[in-house]
Chains A and B, each alone.
Chain A
Amino acid sequence: MALARHPGGVDPAPRRRRGDLCRHSGWAFALHAGPQVFATYTSVLASAPGLVVLFLITLALLFHLANGVRHLVWDVGFGFAPKTADATAWGAFAFALVANAGLWLALAASGKL
């Protein structure tokens, strides 16, 4: 879990810089730069490699979120028993997978992809 957490915690960080913050900040830059830049930007995101990257970013961020909650609970002083800690570790993996699948299925179902 320690190994899983580090990539989980570390991975979104550089990707936040390049990926997610380019999805948020970059989105704002593109929007500010005008319709042509915005169209290029969104078409890159909507391309197959763009979607794969976005899918992995949301997966990494959702895992980071779930594991972050786990750490906040530890900080408050609960959940240290090995069995509990194991269970919440699997819970964090499960949450990330299920929530990410839910998000992308919802996007697909609404015809937004």
Chain B
Amino acid sequence: MTDYSTPLRRARGLGSAKRGVGHFIGQRVSAVALLLLAPWVLWSGYRLAGGGYEAAQAWLGRPTHAVLLILTILAGLYHGQLGLRVVVEDYVEAELPRAALLILNVFVAAVVAALAVVCILGVSLTNGTV
């Protein structure tokens, strides 16, 4: 039998689901954000190391620090969640564990994000020194 279907006919429906670009762009944009935040993170970690409770409270009382820390954690969780998603998609083939891990991945990121923001705001707003 001769196959009369055109290459286009055979290719249709086999391509991407058209959603990958968003993931790709999100990964790069959050990478750039984290790259910009990295020097501040390193410097802050260095400054806070061994400083103790009150120094840490005072540090987080500065709105700039609270804002930058929230941005760092949200960008980091988003970036990490996207990256782990790819690992699961690439290496977990069985359907149910795959779906479960993908959902767990999102849930963990969301829970840590919410907890972190609440804790940062809690400390920040009770120790505020503008």
Could you tell me which A residues sit within 8 Å of B by CB distance? 9-10, 12-14, 16-17, 20-21, 23-25, 27-29, 31-32, 35, 38-39, 42, 46, 65, 68-69, 71-72, 75, 103, 106-107, 111-113
Contacts and interface: CB of A to CB of B under 8 A. Distances in A.
B42 A72 contact: no
Contacts of B56: 27, 31, 38
A105 to B, nearest CB: 11
Question: Main secondary structure on chain A at its contact with chain B?
Answer: helix
Interface string B45-89: 110011011001100100000000100110011001001100100
A68 to B, nearest CB: 5
Contact of B108 (A17, A38, A68): A17
B123 A28 contact: yes
B53 A39 contact: yes
Contacts of A12: 80
Contact of B87 (A13, A20, A27, A69): A13
Contact of B123 (A31, A68, A71): A31
15 contacts: A17-B108, A21-B73, A21-B80, A23-B45, A27-B56, A28-B123, A29-B116, A32-B120, A32-B122, A38-B53, A42-B52, A72-B28, A72-B32, A103-B42, A103-B46
A10 B9 CA distance: 38
Contact of B84 (A14, A32, A39, A65): A14
B119 interface: yes
B83 A13 contact: yes
A107 B49 contact: yes
B14 interface: no
Given A13-B80, A31-B60, A46-B50, A65 B108 contact: no
